[in-house]
Amino acid sequence: MKEIIQYFNEVCINELLKVSENLYRDPSKFAEYIEELKETLNKLGVEIIKETLEEMDMAIKNSVKRKMNWHVEKKDCEKDLITTLGTVSFMKTLYVSKEKNEDGKFEMCYLLDKVMGFEENQRLTEDAMVKVYEEAVQTSYRRGGESVNESDSISKTAVKDMLHKTKFPEIIPEEPEKKKVDYLYIDADEDHYALQFQEKKGDLEVSENGRKKNGAITKLVYVYEGVAPEAPGSKRNKLINTKYFCSGCDESNKEFWARIRRYVYTAYDMEGIKNLIIDLGGVLINLTRNRCIEAFENLGVENIREQITNNYQHKDLFERLELGTISVEQFRDDIRALSGKPLTDEQIDTAWIAMLGDVPENKLRLLLELRERYNTMLLSNTNELHWKWSEDTYFSYQGLCAQDFFHKIYLSYELHMLKPNADIFEYVLKDSNLLAEETMLIDDASVNCRAAELLGMKSYMPQQREDWSHLFK
């Protein structure tokens, strides 16, 4: 800090004395005095930041650990960093790793950036970003860029890009225990907002009615526990413990509602749930549909993509197989007929089983834990080939079998019923003597979840490859 002390003694003291003298000459100029004082202190702050960053860079350079793992590539690289105090111009060192990374390349970076948590080519510090964002969302991109500090500004285009690239983390309330409520309300709405032109007015798309699409819609949802008077005797009500959600620019409807579901099941108690009905494919087993489709296409099976769809519903031949109305042998014969080739049983089975990916070990451990806490059932639209493979491949974990993970197993090809039809859910509830209001379905198909909810059950639809263990923490 020697340089800072020297700078303060040689520069700042003199400037502060001048500022004070100006006020003594004309006490009415107190506002000017405040501005001059702020400017002097900001300059001091910039110098302190500069020296601090350079001292940290030197400490890294002299570090034994650094010398073991990194070579100095280039010294004294001048960089600018915009802060709310002003722009800090400082020197830092560029390094190259002594060992290759996973990509087989030598990594090159500024170690100071790693220590400070700076992103590559970061121009603004977090305090400056916050100031820009606060102004931009209230007024405009231009004024946001102008508000960064007293002397610097960034373009409205840069502000726009910063905002659009920003990923806002999901906020889950930190509570020692999940809340217990009789009712939970979820209201949904939307809002319309104007879009700024990219470069010129003519670059906007034109809708079917000939008007420019200069607006967008964002989804708004709020979750609350009810209403209460704003004050004793007041006729106006307020919402109780409200949590607001707003859909992001690049967020799909499915992702948006999944985020709301995660909040609800994380923040609120599931004490009323005693029974879990868990799906197989997409929930436990990661599915690889495209790999299956390509395998059949390579065998010469035509129109296979029309047979296996991405809405979790198999059609025609595959549907009949999962419904159990045809045997495995008949299925194989029909595949041969579709291909026009004398395919072997092994070729057909291998192609069909290619749909099944892996089961993460943590999900198998979770199933064993849940079996101790809940009445757990497996309910799957599946077929004999897939199920036998799953039994032998996935549920042999630690010498166990499928029956060790669930209290009961319900398979569509054995029941001759398919989700989302109500009859299969009604059968499971009756066969296992379950109350719908005490039962939750975990299924990756929205149609299945809706069908279960119509019968009074709760449901949760995990995203692809989601670790849904957070529901039970």
Nearest of 334, 337, 303, 307 to residue 319 by alpha carbon: 307
Instruction: Catalytic residue, from 152, 189, 279, 392: name it.
Output: 279
Active site residue 279: yes
Q: What is the pLDDT of residue 463?
A: 87
Mean pLDDT (the chain, rounded): 83
Residue 365 banded pLDDT, cuts 50, 70, 90: very high
Distance CA 406, CA 390 (A): 14
pLDDT for 270 beyond 70:
no
Q: What is the pLDDT of residue 311?
A: 47
Whole-angstrom CA distances from 85 to 39, 43, 124, 198, 468 are 9, 7, 11, 31, 45
Residue 118 banded pLDDT, cuts 50, 70, 90: confident
From 44-58, 195-209, 223-237, the region with the lowest mean pLDDT: 195-209
Exposure letters 66-76 (e unless 16+ CB within 10 A, then b): beeebeeeeee
Distance CA 58, CA 62 (A): 6
Residue 369 banded pLDDT, cuts 50, 70, 90: very high
At 60-85, the pLDDT tens digits run 989 888 888 899 999 889 988 888 88
Q: In which element (H, E) is residue 297 found?
A: helix 289-298
Q: What is the pLDDT of residue 188?
A: 83
Nearest of 117, 56, 66 to residue 96 by alpha carbon: 66
Residue 312 banded pLDDT, cuts 50, 70, 90: very low
Q: What is the pLDDT of residue 464?
A: 84
Average pLDDT (211-219) is: 68
* Whole-prediction pTM: 0.51
Strand, helix or coil at 170?
Answer: coil
DSSP-derived letter for residue 402 is G
In a 10 Å sphere around its CB, with 0-12 CB exposed, 13-18 middle and 19+ buried, how is residue 235 labelled? exposed
Average pLDDT (295-307) is: 83
As beta bridge partners, residue 94 has 74
The domains of the chain, with CATH numbers, are 2-116 (no CATH), 128-165 (no CATH), 185-267 (no CATH), 275-285+356-472 (3.40.50.1000), 289-353 (1.10.150.240)
Residues 6+ apart with CB under 8 A from 132: 124, 144, 145, 147, 148, 154, 159, 162
Distance CA 56, CA 404 (A): 57
Asked, as a colleague might, if the bond just before 420 is cis with ω within 30 of 0, I would say: yes
